[in-house]
Amino acid sequence: MTTATPATPQKAQYGPKPYVHPYFGGFVLGIVLFLAMFLTGNGLGSSGATSRIDAAIVDAISPSHVDNNPYLLKMAGGDKNPLDDWIVPVFFGALLGGFSSGLFNRRLKFETTKGPNISVRTRWLVAFLGGVIFLYGARLARGCTSGQALTGGTTLSAGSWLIMFSIFGGAYALAYFVRKLWN
Amino acid sequence: MQFPLQSFNAVSAANPWTYVLFGLIGFAFGFTLEMSGFGNSTKLAAQFYFKELTVLKVMFTAIVTAMVLTFGAAGLGILDFSLVWVNHTYIASGIVGGLIMGVGFIVGGFCPTTSLASASTGKIDGMMFMLGGFVGAFLFGETEQYFTQWYNNAGFYGRLTLDQVFGLPVGVVVLLVVLMALFMFWGAEQLERLIGKKDMSHEPRLRLFGAGALFVGAVAVVLIGQPSLESRYAKVTFTRTVNAQEVSYSADDMLANRLVFVSPAEAFKAEYNQSMNPIYLDVRSEADYNLYHIENAVNVPLAHISEVIPTLLSEPAANSVFILISNDETAAVQAWKILVASSVPNVYVLEGGVNNWISFFAEDDPALQPNPLAGDDQLKYTFPAALGARYESCSPSPIEYENLTYDARIVLQLKRDKSGGGCG
C-alpha cells in the first residue's frame, strides 16, 4: 500500500532543486574565472573587499585613525575612497548572484547549516570565530581561497600554490580535533 | 584587439561600465558557487573528513579549465599574459596565512566567498561567518604594523610562476597540473566510495569525456607553445599626443621617430622629478660599467636582461621609468625591444649612451681623454682608472645644472596599483 504516496514527487517539485554536479559547477566556475582574467586581467576574489569595507567604516567613523595606520592609509588615506576598487563590485555581485541562484533553485530559507551534534548557538559562535580567523589569515596571505587558490593557482603563481596547500594542510591537520562540530 | 582590455583593469568613475562588468563577474561567481552547493557548510566541511570531496572537485576543475583556456589564449597571441595579474609570492606570510585560513575553514565551515553565497540565501551561519570576517580583517589592519617588515619582505619573490621555479615550458606545467588534477579526481572518487559510502555507479559518463577534453586541451597548449618575443614585439603599440591628436605608433615607429630616446639632460632631471621614479639600467659589460657609470645605474648586461623582467614588471612603484644605457645606443635598443615585447611599461633609452652623457656633462674633465679608435657602441673615452661612479660627471651637480632645456620624451604611463594586495 505504499504506492499511493504522490506526495513525495510533488514535494520534490516544490522543494529545493538538487545542486549541480561538482565537475559541472567547476567547469562553469572555470569559464567565469577565465573570462574575468581574459577581459580584465584580474581574476576573482572577495576577501580584499571585506578589508576595504572595514577601511571605509573606519574612515567614516574616525579618519584620524586611518592616518595613524599605514595599512589603512594605503586604502583610505587622503581623498582615496577604499571602495573604489574592482573587488568591491565583485563582492556585491557575488552576494546578488548567490541570492539569485538560491531564488532560482528554491533554496532561499532562513536556516543554519551545521553538524548533527552541536546546537544552533554553538554553530553560530564557531561560524563567527571561523570568520575572524579565516579573514585574518586571508589578509596575511594577501588573498583567500578565491584570490589565491583559485585565481593564483590558475595563473601558476608559485606563492598561490604554496598558500593553497597550506590552507588544505591547516584544515586537514585540525579536522580530527574539531570532528564534533561536523560529525 | 588585445586582451585583457586595458580600460577594464580597474574600476573608474570615468567609465561606469567597469562597475557593471566587475559586478557581472561577481554575480556569475556567486551564482556558480551557490549552485555547486557551496552555500552549505556541511558540504564544505565534509571535504576534510573524506566523505564528500566536492570542494576539491569544483576547485580543481575550475583551476584546470581556466588554466588551459588562459594559456591557450596566451599561446595563440590573443591574451597578453604579462598583463594578467599574477599574485606575488611571499613565502613566509603566505604559508602562515594559509595555515590560519585552513583553521578558519574547518572551524567556521566556509571560506569568504562561499560565506557570501551562504549568507545571501538566508543561512544564518553564513551571515555569522561574514560578520566574523569583518572583525578578522579589521584586526589584521590594526595589527599589521607590528610585523610589517616581516609581512612585506620575508620570502618575497615578486611575480614568480611555477614554470620559472621548475625551469619548464609553461605548457608542460599546465599539462602536469591537469594530470595531477585528474589523478586527484580519481582518488577523490575512491575516497567517496570507500569512506563516504557513496554509490558511484550513477556518476555521469560525461565526466570521462570531460577529462579527455581537458587532457587534449593541455596537450594543445604544449604544442602551441607561448608566443615568441618577435611576434609580441610586432604587436606592441604606443600612443602619443601630437597636436592634440592621439597618434598610435608601432615599436619600430617609436625608434624611427626617436620618441624613446631621452637626452642626457632629461635622464638627469628625471632623478629630481617628484612624479617619477627613474631606474637606470646599464646594459653594458661589467668591465665597462666598472670603468665609468652613471650614479645609481644598475648593471644588467644585455645577455641577462630577460632574467630581470619579472622584477621590472613587479617593480612596486607605479611611476617607475626605466632608462636603458649602453655606450652608444645599439645594445640599449636591443634591450628596449626585449623589454617592450615583454610588456614592461615606461622604458626609454639614453640618447647617445654613456658617450653622449660624458660629452654633455664632462666636457671639461681632463681625466677623460677621447679615444679615437673606439668602434660602434664602445667607450669613446679612455679612463685613468676604473672608478665606477666616482667621476664628478657621474652625478652632476643639480645646482650647477639646474636649468637645462630639452625636448621631454618621457610620457608616464601609470601601471595598475595593487596596493590592496591580491584578492583586492
pLDDT, tens only, B321-360: 999 999 999 999 999 999 998 878 889 999 999 999 999 9
E strand or H helix that includes residue A147: none
A12 belongs to a structural domain: no
The Cα of B170 is separated from the nearest Cα of chain A by a number of Å equal to: 9
The answer to whether B46 faces chain A, any CB pair under 8 Å, is: yes
The yes-or-no verdict on residue B62 having pLDDT over 50 is yes
Same domain flag for A103 and A24: yes
Same domain flag for A75 and A150: no
**pLDDT average, residue stretch B193-214:** 86
Helix (H, G, I), strand (E, B) or coil at A24: helix
For residue A61, which residues of chain B lie inside 8 Å, CB to CB? none
Show the domain range for A123.
112-183
The answer to whether B102 faces chain A, any CB pair under 8 Å, is: yes
Interchain contact, B136 vs A45, CB within 8 Å? no
Closest CA to A160 of A173, A142, A137: A142
A104 belongs to a structural domain: yes
Which of A20, A31, A32, A87 to mutate: most B Cβ within 10 Å? A32
Name the residue with higher pLDDT: B160 or B57: B57
The pTM (predicted TM-score) of the whole model is 0.80
* Grid cell listed for A6: 504522490
For residue B5, which residues of chain A lie inside 8 Å, CB to CB? 39-40
**Is-contact B108 A130, C-beta < 8 A?**
yes
**CA-CA distance, A111 to A129, in Å (whole number)?**
19
**CA-CA distance, A157 to A165, in Å (whole number)?**
13
Given this model, what pLDDT does residue B34 score? Answer: 94
A11 belongs to a structural domain: no
**Is-contact B340 B251, C-beta < 8 A?**
yes
Distances (CA, A) of A81 to A58, A63, A77, B8, B332: 12, 12, 8, 18, 41
A5 belongs to a structural domain: no
Same domain flag for A133 and A90: no
**CA-CA distance, B261 to B410, in Å (whole number)?**
9
Range with lowest mean pLDDT among B5-14, B244-253, B319-328: B5-14
Distances (CA, A) of B156 to B91, B150, B162, B304: 6, 10, 15, 21
Given this model, what pLDDT does residue A129 score? Answer: 96
> Which domain-ending residue is among A70, A94, A109?
A109
**Letter for the amino acid at B40?**
N
**CA-CA distance, A145 to A44, in Å (whole number)?**
10
* CB nearest to A98's CB, from B10, B39, B207: B39
* CB nearest to A168's CB, from B100, B102, B162: B102
For B252-336, list the strands marked E by DSSP: 261-262, 277-282, 298-299, 320-325
pLDDT-based confidence at B263, cuts 50/70/90? very high
Q: Is the ipTM of this complex over 0.85?
A: yes
Given this model, what pLDDT does residue B1 score? Answer: 66
A58 belongs to a structural domain: yes
Same domain flag for A28 and A80: yes
Nearest 5 degrees, angle CA B35-CA B37-CA B42? 165
Torsion of CA A41, A46, A51, A54, to 10 degrees: 130
* Residue pLDDT, tens place only, B71-89: 999 998 889 887 888 888 8
> Which domain-ending residue is among A109, A133, A165?
A109
Given this model, what pLDDT does residue B418 score? Answer: 45
Given this model, what pLDDT does residue B417 score? Answer: 45
Interchain contact, A127 vs B83, CB within 8 Å? no
E strand or H helix that includes residue B293: none
> Which domain-ending residue is among A67, A93, A109?
A109
| Cβ pairs bridging A and B (under 8 Å) | 591
Instruction: List the single residue in A with minimal CA-CA distance to B46.
Output: A182
Range with lowest mean pLDDT among A4-13, B250-259, B408-417: A4-13
**CA-CA distance, B137 to B134, in Å (whole number)?**
5
**CA-CA distance, B155 to B140, in Å (whole number)?**
20
Same domain flag for A183 and A140: yes
Given this model, what pLDDT does residue A2 score? Answer: 44
The answer to whether B123 faces chain A, any CB pair under 8 Å, is: yes
**pLDDT average, residue stretch B214-223:** 94
Same domain flag for A32 and A84: yes
Same domain flag for A93 and A118: no
For residue B156, which residues of chain A lie inside 8 Å, CB to CB? none
Given this model, what pLDDT does residue B273 score? Answer: 87
pLDDT-based confidence at B421, cuts 50/70/90? very low
Question: In sequence order, which ranges of B195-329 are alpha helices (DSSP H)?
Answer: 206-224, 229-235, 251-256, 264-270, 286-291, 309-314
* CB nearest to A38's CB, from B3, B95, B109: B3
Given this model, what pLDDT does residue B420 score? Answer: 37
Given this model, what pLDDT does residue A89 score? Answer: 92
What is the full per-residue pLDDT of chain A (183 aa) written as tens digits? 444 444 444 445 678 888 999 999 999 999 999 999 999 888 898 888 999 999 899 888 888 888 888 888 888 877 788 888 889 999 999 999 999 999 999 888 899 888 888 999 999 999 999 999 999 999 999 998 889 999 999 999 999 999 999 999 999 999 999 988 888
Given this model, what pLDDT does residue B124 score? Answer: 93
Name the residue with higher pLDDT: A142 or B364: A142
The Cα of B172 is separated from the nearest Cα of chain A by a number of Å equal to: 12
The answer to whether B98 faces chain A, any CB pair under 8 Å, is: yes
**CA-CA distance, A27 to B62, in Å (whole number)?**
5
Same domain flag for A116 and A129: yes
Residue ranges of domains in chain B, CATH in brackets: 6-229 (no CATH), 233-394 (3.40.250.10)
A47 belongs to a structural domain: yes
A139-171 as b/e, with b when 16 or more CB fall inside 10 Å?
bbbbbbbbbbbbbbbbbbbbbbbbbbebbbebb
Distances (CA, A) of B115 to A90, A110, B99: 14, 14, 19
Range with lowest mean pLDDT among A103-107, B231-235, B297-301: B231-235
Same domain flag for A55 and A130: no
* Grid cell listed for B361: 656633462
The answer to whether B178 faces chain A, any CB pair under 8 Å, is: no
Same domain flag for A118 and A105: no
The Cα of A3 is separated from the nearest Cα of chain B by a number of Å equal to: 25
Reply yes or no: is the peptide bond before residue B316 cis, omega within 30 of 0. no
A6 belongs to a structural domain: no
Share of chain B above pLDDT 70, in %: 96
Given this model, what pLDDT does residue B419 score? Answer: 39
* Residue pLDDT, tens place only, B128-143: 999 999 999 999 988 9
Same domain flag for A53 and A93: yes
* Grid cell listed for A171: 584544515
The number of domains in chain A is 2
Which of A67, A85, A90, A92 to mutate: most B Cβ within 10 Å? A90
Same domain flag for A37 and A99: yes
A10 belongs to a structural domain: no
